[in-house]
Amino acid sequence: MKFSTKGTYGLRAVVELAARYGEGPVSLAAVATEQGISEAYLEQLMRSLKKAGIVKTARGKSGGYLLTREPVRISVLEVLRALEGSTDVVDCVGSGANVCENACTCSARPLFLKLQSRINAVLEETTIGELTEDHIEQKKRIEHARLS
């Protein structure tokens, strides 16, 4: 019941891009350094994000990664799904397939259904834009505290 580092790293990387939204492509190296993630590993995550239509790329010299949309129009759910495959706590709560044959008599399923809907609500209503604003504020506060 843990998110893998893919989710956390990827989320942080997307926020990093969001913080520079509108300023042109950001290189992998820049994001990796800023977030303290291995470049080679981050590249894999970026590939997933690209496939999911969350980031796009500019190739060649002075190229890099960009968000495909405004940060407020990207939900956290979307990012996590791209990286983790799914955010379902058990397979049988997903829509459509994978519902096991005993679903209707499984005593734990009602709990999981309720839990999943609560989780999805939070992940869906939170946007990258929000996360980014909060993060910038937080950084400012720390800077202020350091100087005084």
Residues that bind a copy of itself (CB under 8 A): 1-4, 7-8, 11-12, 15-16, 36, 76, 80, 84, 86-91, 102, 104-108, 110-112, 114-115, 118-119, 121-123, 126, 131-132, 134-135, 138-139, 142
64, β-bridge pairs = 58
Q: Which tokens sit at 148?
A: 């005084």
State the binding partner of 72 from a copy of itself, DNA, none, CB within 5 to 8 A by kind. none
The amino acid that residue 37 corresponds to is: I
State the binding partner of 80 from a copy of itself, DNA, none, CB within 5 to 8 A by kind. a copy of itself
State the binding partner of 41 from a copy of itself, DNA, none, CB within 5 to 8 A by kind. DNA
Give the 3-state secondary structure of residue 22: coil
Candidates 36, 19, 42, 33; CA nearest to 138 is 19
Residue 5 DSSP code: H
Q: Which residues make up the interface to DNA (CB under 7 A)? A: 4-6, 25-29, 38, 40-41, 43-44, 46-47, 50, 57-65, 84
Nearer to DNA, 37 or 76 (CB): 37
Nearer to a copy of itself, 11 or 66 (CB): 11
Q: Give the Cα separation of 18 and 21 in Å (integer).
A: 5
The answer to whether residues 11 and 125 touch, using CB atoms and an 8 Å cutoff, is no
Report the nearest approach of a copy of itself to the CB of residue 66 (Å).
18
Q: Please state the length of the chain.
A: 148
